[in-house]
Amino acid sequence: MKARVFVTLKPSVFDPQGRTIVEALHSMGYGGVDAVRQGKYFELDVNAGTADEARTMVSEVADKLLANPVIESYRIEIAQ
């Protein structure tokens, strides 16, 4: 089973990399891009009986390691 985890900085946390990227886009002429937030993307191959089991395990993994709850939040997608 495949799991995808998207880790992003919480809205209240300043993202210096995102800011630099949006400034670069503006200098490239893409004034239509108002803001960029950078994050991390993980693909996990998991061995689990059901999608729910996979989700439970991946949430645990994200809480413990993939994301730092002080500054980041995450979203999980399970693909059969």
Partner 1 sequence: MKFAVVVFPGSNCDHDAYHAAKHVLGQDAEFVWHKDTSLAGADAVILPGGFAHGDYLRTGAIARFSPVMASVKAFAEAGHPVLGVCNGFQILLEAGLLPGAMLRNRGLKFICEYVGVKVEQTDTPFTSACAPGQILNIPINHGEGNYFADDEVLDRLERERRVIFRYVNAAGEAAPDANPNGAARNIAGICSERRNVVGMMPHPERACEPSLGSGDGLVLFESVVKTLAEQGRMAVQK
Residues making contact with partner 1 (CB under 8 A): 12-17, 20, 65-66, 68, 70-71
- C-beta of 16 vs 32, nearer to partner 1: 16
- Which of helix, strand or coil describes residue 13? coil
Q: Provide the minimum distance between the beta carbon of 16 and partner 1 in the complex, in angstroms, as a whole number.
A: 5
Q: Provide the minimum distance between the beta carbon of 70 and partner 1 in the complex, in angstroms, as a whole number.
A: 4
- C-beta of 15 vs 54, nearer to partner 1: 15
- Which of helix, strand or coil describes residue 65? helix
Distances (CA, A) of 6 to 16, 29, 31, 66, 76: 19, 28, 26, 9, 6
Cα–Cα distance measured from residue 21 to residue 17, given in angstroms and rounded to the nearest whole number: 6
Q: Provide the minimum distance between the beta carbon of 64 and partner 1 in the complex, in angstroms, as a whole number.
A: 9
